[in-house]
Amino acid sequence: MATNRLSARERELFLAEPHIAALSVSAGPGRGPLTVPIWYQYTPGGEAWVLTEAASRKVPLIEAAGRFTLMVDRVAPTARYVSVEGPVTRIVSGTDEQTREIAWRYLPPDKAQAYVELAKAEFGEQVVIFMRPEHWLSSDLGPS
């Protein structure tokens, strides 16, 4: 029987591409998970990280849960997704370097610097939340 699951290398390389992720974290008893779109960074074999405003609702939820999930997908040329969940390894103050790194990952060069300047002027204190990928789900629904 054919499997549509990606190999460990395939899923890591796919996660390393600049997809916009859905971040999910427990929102507490009687609530579904908080799920929001977010830019992230990942290098195969390493930790995933997100940069967000320190005052964001997701920060205390992630601190309380101690873990979160990132899910990325695409629809062409085949429907493919990777979902990774794991424990938070650290939360640190965001740096200008990390803001630049994430901006250059997602934006064209002529827009990245403007975003960095906007983030510095408008977003307030930023934090970086690191996660060690522990549980993976993946599939490619293309031809076998």
DSSP label at residue 128: E
With a threshold of 0.85, does the pTM exceed it? Answer: yes
Q: What percent of the chain clears pLDDT 70, i.e. is strictly above it?
A: 97
Q: Give me the pLDDT at residue 142, please.
A: 82
Please identify which residue in the block is written with the tokens 């599939």. Answer: 139
Q: Give me the pLDDT at residue 144, please.
A: 56
Q: What is the pLDDT of residues 106-132, one digit of tens each?
A: 999 889 999 999 999 999 999 999 999
Q: What is the pLDDT of residues 29-71, one digit of tens each?
A: 999 999 999 999 999 999 999 999 999 999 999 999 999 999 9
Average pLDDT for 76-91: 96
CA atoms of 61 and 131, how far apart (whole Å): 14
Taking phi first (over 0 means left), then psi (-120 to 50 degrees means alpha), and beta for anything else, what does residue 28 get?
left
Query: What mean pLDDT, rounded, does the chain reach?
Result: 95
Contacts of 11 (CB under 8 A, 6+ apart): 82, 84, 136, 138
Q: CB-hemisphere CA count at 13 Å for 28?
A: 6
The CATH label, of 1.10.10.10, 3.30.70.260, 2.30.110.10, 3.40.50.2000, for the domain at 8-140 is 2.30.110.10
Confidence check: pLDDT of 3 > 80: no
Q: Give me the pLDDT at residue 1, please.
A: 38
Where exactly are the structural domains of the chain? 8-140
Q: Give me the pLDDT at residue 143, please.
A: 72
